[in-house]
C-alpha cells in the first residue's frame, strides 16, 4: 500500500518542487526593479494614427521612474465587459486604469470595483465636459470615472439629393418619410434606399429604439425605477419603426443592420438618410468615397406634434481599479489621458470626439474637422441611455422583444408587456 502511495506521490513532489522554485524565481526578480509599472487597458483605436502610445510616453516623461504599459482589450464590447467582470470580481490587480463603455460605469461602481474619484478631483474639474457625459460617470452622487470620448446619434443625409429636389433636412420623422417617397419616385432608382438605421438584435438596436421612444415621449426607465412608465407611447414608437420597414422607407435588411452594415450601404451611395455616430463622417469624406462632399449631418428628427428629436449619447470613460496598487498614480494617468491636450490629440489622430466642450471650437481641430462646431450642439442636446447599474440586464432583456416587434412576429404592445414582465422578475430579485 505505502509503496504504491509513494510511487504516486514521488513524481508529484518533484513537480511541486519545480513549481515552487519557479515561483521563487519570479518573486526574486521583483525587488531589483524599482520602476513602478502602471497598466492601462484599452481597445485599440482605429483611425489615421493611434495617438495613445505617444500619450502614454508623455506621461512617463512627466513622471520619472514610472512605466506605463498599454494593454489591448478584446475586440467586441461583450468580450471587454466579460474580461473586466471576471478579473475585477476575481480581485485581479492586473491593471490600474481602464477604458470603460459609459453604460458600465454605474454597474462597476455599484459592484465596488472602481476608485471613488470625487475626492481626487477639484470641485469644478468636470465642468468643461458635456453634462450628459458627467451624468453617465456619476452614481450615487459620487464620480467614478472621467469622461474620455463622446458619441451621439446623428442623422446623415445626402445634400445633393435633397438640394436637387428642393428639400430641407427633415425636422420630424413624418417629414423624413415624405421626403424619401418624393425623392425615390423622382429618382426612379430601385437600388436607392430611403432611411438606414440599426435594427439587428444587439445593443445598437436598443439605442435606436430609445431614440424613437424619446421622440414619442416614452422612456424605458423612470426615476422611481419603474420600467416602461408610458407603455402605450412606447408601443406606438415601436409600431412606427416597424412601419418604416413595412412601407419600404427602410429596407427589409434593416432588421440585420449594425452600424457598419448601414454605414457602408450609405457610403456606397445607396441611401438618402442614415442614423449613425459621428465616426462615419470622416469615412464618408475619404478620397475614394462615393459620397464625398455630398453628406451633411443634422439632429435626429422628432415626431410631428411630439418632442424634438435627440440623439442617444455614448462613449468611453476612464476608471481606476479599486485593486490598483498605485491609486494616486493611476488617477494621475487617467487625468492625463482625459486632459485637454490628450483629447485634442485623440480627436486629431482618430475619429473619436472629445468630451471637453471647448475643443469643438478649437481652431486646430476645426481645421481638421470642419463639422466640429455643429457636432457640439448635437452632442450637448444628446441624452444618455438610462444611467443604472442594471443597464446591461435591461438591455439584454429588451433586445429580443424590440427585435420581435420590428420583424413583425409580435405586436408592439405584447413586446412591451413581455419586456416589462421579464424585467420585473429580474429586477425584483435584485431589489
Residue 75 or 373 with smaller CB distance to other proteins: 75
Least distance CB 33 / other proteins (angstroms): 34
Q: How far apart are CA 102 and CA 315, in angstroms?
A: 6
Which residues ranging from 128 to 187 are in contact with other proteins (CB under 8 A)?
none
| Among the residue ranges 50-58, 77-85, 229-237, 281-289, the one whose residues contact other proteins (CB under 8 A) | 77-85
392 touches other proteins (CB under 8 A): yes
| Among the residue ranges 82-90, 335-343, 344-352, 359-367, the one whose residues contact other proteins (CB under 8 A) | 82-90
Q: How far apart are CA 247 and CA 51, in angstroms?
A: 45
Q: Which of 19, 24, 46, 89 binds other proteins (CB under 8 A)?
A: 89
| Among the residue ranges 29-37, 208-216, 226-234, 406-414, the one whose residues contact other proteins (CB under 8 A) | 406-414
5 touches other proteins (CB under 8 A): yes
CB-facing half-sphere around the CA of 315: CA atoms within 13 A: 35
19 touches other proteins (CB under 8 A): no
Cell 453617465 locates to 136
Cell 485593486 locates to 323
202 touches other proteins (CB under 8 A): yes
- With contacts defined by CB under 8 A, how many residues of the chain interact with other proteins? 48
Q: Which of 107, 259, 362, 371 binds other proteins (CB under 8 A)?
A: 107
Q: How far apart are CA 217 and CA 210, in angstroms?
A: 10
Which residues ranging from 234 to 293 are in contact with other proteins (CB under 8 A)?
251-257, 261, 264-265, 268, 270
Residue 217 or 389 with smaller CB distance to other proteins: 389
Residue 251 or 354 with smaller CB distance to other proteins: 251
16 touches other proteins (CB under 8 A): no
Q: Which of 404, 412, 416, 423 binds other proteins (CB under 8 A)?
A: 404
Under a CB-based contact definition with an 8 Å cutoff, are residues 96 and 323 in contact? no
54 touches other proteins (CB under 8 A): no
Q: How far apart are CA 138 and CA 349, in angstroms?
A: 28
Q: Which of 120, 158, 200, 263 binds other proteins (CB under 8 A)?
A: 200
Q: Which of 117, 207, 406, 416 binds other proteins (CB under 8 A)?
A: 406
335 touches other proteins (CB under 8 A): no
Contact footprint for other proteins (CB under 8 A): 1, 4-5, 8, 78, 81-82, 85, 89, 107, 110-111, 113, 199-202, 251-257, 261, 264-265, 268, 270, 389, 392-393, 396, 399-400, 403-404, 406-410, 418, 422, 425-426, 429-430
Amino acid at each position: 500500500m505505502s509503496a504504491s502511495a509513494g510511487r504516486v506521490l514521488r513524481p508529484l513532489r518533484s513537480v511541486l518542487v519545480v513549481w515552487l522554485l519557479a515561483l521563487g524565481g519570479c518573486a526574486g526578480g521583483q525587488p531589483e526593479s524599482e520602476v513602478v509599472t502602471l497598466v492601462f487597458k484599452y481597445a485599440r483605436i482605429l483611425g489615421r494614427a493611434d495617438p495613445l502610445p505617444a500619450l502614454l510616453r508623455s506621461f512617463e516623461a512627466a513622471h520619472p521612474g514610472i512605466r506605463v504599459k498599454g494593454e489591448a482589450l478584446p475586440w467586441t464590447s461583450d468580450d471587454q465587459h466579460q474580461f473586466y467582470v471576471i478579473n475585477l470580481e476575481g480581485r485581479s490587480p492586473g491593471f490600474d486604469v481602464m477604458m470603460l463603455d459609459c453604460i458600465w460605469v454605474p454597474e462597476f461602481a455599484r459592484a465596488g470595483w472602481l476608485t471613488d474619484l470625487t475626492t481626487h478631483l477639484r470641485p469644478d474639474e468636470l465642468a468643461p465636459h458635456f453634462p450628459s457625459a458627467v451624468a453617465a460617470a456619476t452614481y450615487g452622487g459620487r464620480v467614478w470615472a472621467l469622461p474620455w470620448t463622446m458619441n451621439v446619434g446623428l442623422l446623415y443625409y445626402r445634400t445633393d439629393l435633397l438640394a436637387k429636389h428642393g428639400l430641407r433636412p427633415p425636422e420630424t420623422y413624418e417629414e423624413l418619410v415624405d421626403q424619401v417617397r418624393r425623392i425615390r419616385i423622382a429618382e426612379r432608382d430601385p437600388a436607392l434606399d430611403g432611411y438606414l438605421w440599426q435594427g439587428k438584435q444587439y445593443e445598437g438596436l436598443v439605442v435606436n429604439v430609445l431614440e424613437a421612444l424619446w421622440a414619442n415621449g416614452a422612456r424605458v426607465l423612470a426615476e422611481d425605477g419603474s420600467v416602461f412608465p408610458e407603455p402605450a407611447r412606447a408601443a406606438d414608437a415601436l409600431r412606427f419603426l416597424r412601419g418604416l420597414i413595412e412601407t419600404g422607407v427602410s429596407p427589409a435588411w434593416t432588421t440585420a443592420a449594425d452600424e457598419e452594415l448601414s454605414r457602408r450601404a450609405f457610403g456606397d451611395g445607396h441611401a438618402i438618410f442614415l442614423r449613425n455616430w459621428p465616426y462615419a463622417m470622416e469615412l464618408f469624406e475619404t478620397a475614394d468615397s462615393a459620397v464625398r462632399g455630398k453628406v451633411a449631418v443634422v439632429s435626429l428628427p422628432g415626431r410631428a406634434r411630439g418632442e424634438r428629436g435627440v440623439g442617444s449619447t455614448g462613449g468611453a470613460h476612464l476608471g481606476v481599479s479599486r485593486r490598483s496598487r498605485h491609486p494616486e498614480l493611476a488617477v494621475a494617468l487617467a487625468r492625463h489621458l482625459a486632459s485637454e491636450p490628450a483629447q485634442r490629440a485623440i480627436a486629431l489622430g482618430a475619429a473619436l470626439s472629445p468630451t471637453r466642450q471647448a475643443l469643438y471650437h478649437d481652431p486646430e481641430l476645426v481645421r481638421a474637422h470642419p463639422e466640429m462646431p455643429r457636432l457640439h450642439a448635437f452632442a450637448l442636446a444628446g441624452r444618455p441611455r438610462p444611467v443604472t447599474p442594471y443597464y446591461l440586464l435591461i438591455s439584454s432583456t429588451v433586445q429580443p422583444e424590440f427585435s420581435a416587434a420590428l420583424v413583425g412576429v409580435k405586436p408592439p404592445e405584447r413586446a412591451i408587456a413581455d419586456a416589462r414582465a421579464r424585467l420585473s422578475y429580474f429586477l425584483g430579485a435584485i431589489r
